[in-house]
Amino acid sequence: MSKQHPNEVLYGDGSKRFPALAACEHYAGNEKLITKALALQVEMSTQAGPVFDLTCDCEDGAATGREREHAEMVADLINSDANKFNRVGVRIHDLSHPHWRQDIDILISRAGERIAYIVLPKPERAADVLTQIGIIDAARARYGVRREIPVHVLIETHGALRDAWQIAALPHVESIDFGIMDFVSSHHGAVPGSAMVSPGQFSHPLMARAKTEISAAALANHVVPAHNVTTEIRDPQVVADDAKRARKEFGFLRMWSIHPNQIRPIVEAMQPDYSEVDMASAIICAAQDADWGPIQHAGKLHDRASFRYYWELLQRAHATGMVLPEQAQQRFFSI
């Protein structure tokens, strides 16, 4: 009887595999906060690895006139022993800033083998993203970095929202993220500041439209939709409620954190329901036992279409640190 792993059989038709990213992306801007976040990444890790990715901020984190030093510091931390999991990415400057090419050159020349992803902020159109991807690929070639470096794109302008579907389909893109603060500001006061926070960020029609479009574009192109920040840093319930709404109402699978207090509520809110995880385990194990042919479970027929759904659900549960049913853990996730 074949015991092929789901990854070997469920994507054999050439379909793009959905990225298995952590449910939380934590931002840190200076050396002190980045160092603390690296330690927290280890402290909160599970058998599956880190429960959050760390993004070092070269855009808002670098002091004016010290952009080079900041990028070099970030690259050195990515290369350090403190980076235990190689799940540290970087947000660079936007296309209008004079230092964005320098950011790429420094990061790839110093840390190209270990950088997890590069975040591209404030594009106005898909062509802007493609320009920066081209420079990243040129730097990889120049410094002999053969591995693909994934790209995450911030949708925070009207033009980027208009081109969201094109952006999500570009090479190397594995996530598109909603930058709500800049997006609200770009409406010239026509959208109230209350649309930056709950409940307005979910109920205002223009915000709901933007979130729906970003999530739909991402999921249709097999990339991860990442939700915007919550500015509340003292009340974890507010953070958890925002993450739950983002996940259940808009289909987001990842969310930004801007304070360590936000990480655990986001991760827990993004976890699948355990009852569905338990069912996914039973279905995928039975499918493997049936050599990936059609099966029946609880009176319902399942084939490879539903197998992909339940397999990706199991991967998402694993990535968020959930304790999986023993047979699924042993078959698919044991090291």
Handedness of CA 321, 326, 331, 334 (dihedral sign): positive
Number of Cβ within 10 Å of residue 66's Cβ equals: 11
Domain spanning 24-270: CATH 3.20.20.150: no
Both structure tokens of 161:
């929202």
- Rounded to the nearest 5°, which phi and psi values hold at 166? -70, -40
Name the residue type at position 23: A
pLDDT at 46 over 70: yes
Kindly report which listed range (28-32, 126-130, 320-324) carries the lowest average pLDDT score.
Answer: 320-324
In angstroms, the CA 176 to CA 155 distance is 7
pLDDT at 1 over 50: no
Question: Is 53:22 a contact under the CB 8 Å cutoff?
Answer: yes
pLDDT value of position 335: 59
The pLDDT of 64-70, averaged and rounded, is: 96
Name the residue among 116, 31, 117 with its Cα closest to residue 77.
31
Both structure tokens of 190:
């026509």
Give the DSSP H/E element, type plus range, for residue 164.
helix 164-168
State the pTM of this model: 0.92
Name the residue among 111, 95, 120 with its Cα closest to residue 226.
120
Query: Which residue bears the tokens 């990415």?
Result: 89
pLDDT at 179 over 60: yes
The pLDDT of 1-21, averaged and rounded, is: 78
Whole-number Cα distances in Å, 333 to 47, 52, 85, 259: 9, 18, 17, 30
* CA neighbours closer than 13 Å in the CB half-sphere of residue 233: 7
Name the residue among 335, 267, 275, 280 with its Cα closest to residue 306.
280
Both structure tokens of 234:
């003292």
Both structure tokens of 316:
């998402």
94-130, pLDDT tens digit by residue? 999 999 999 999 999 999 999 999 999 999 999 999 9
230-243, pLDDT tens digit by residue? 999 999 999 999 99
- The residue ranges of every structural domain in the chain are 6-10+274-333, 24-270
